[in-house]
């Protein structure tokens, strides 16, 4: 992909990557925490759940709720202000 092509999709790609990361952290938290505990803490545990817990002094459940609320808000606000993807693609061809 050329620099120009990459720049043209950043407005869509970057929010999608951030969203995908948060969704992954939300759904994989229990599995990752269980693996962390079974491994005696040898593998670092740094998903967004842990970061929110540390930064805000909240529980894992509250951190997951914050992630869920944030992703719900982001989905609406990020893409509501963007043109329809079909329209966007038509302007690129």
Chain segment 10-66, per-residue pLDDT in tens: 888 888 888 889 989 999 999 999 988 898 878 788 899 999 999 999 999 999 999
| Per-residue model confidence (pLDDT) at position 80 | 46
Count of domains for the chain: 1
Q: Which of 15-19, 59-63, 69-73, 81-85 has the lowest mean pLDDT?
A: 81-85
Of 31 and 91, the one with more pLDDT: 31
Instruction: Indicate the burial class of 64 (C-beta count within 10 angstroms; 0-12, 13-18, 19 or more).
Output: buried
pTM above threshold 0.75: no
Q: How far is residue 79's CA from residue 71's CA, in Å, rounded to a whole number? A: 12
List the domain range (segments joined by +) for residue 38.
Answer: 3-92
């Amino acid at each position: 992909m050329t620099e120009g092509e990459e720049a043209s999709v950043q407005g869509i790609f970057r929010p999608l990557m951030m969203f995908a990361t948060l969704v992954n952290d939300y759904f994989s938290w229990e599995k990752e925490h269980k693996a962390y505990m079974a491994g005696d803490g040898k593998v670092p545990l740094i998903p967004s759940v842990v970061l929110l817990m540390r930064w805000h002094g909240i529980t894992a459940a509250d951190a997951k709720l914050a992630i869920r609320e944030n992703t719900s808000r982001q989905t609406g606000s990020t893409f509501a202000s963007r043109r329809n993807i079909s329209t966007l693609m038509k302007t690129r061809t």
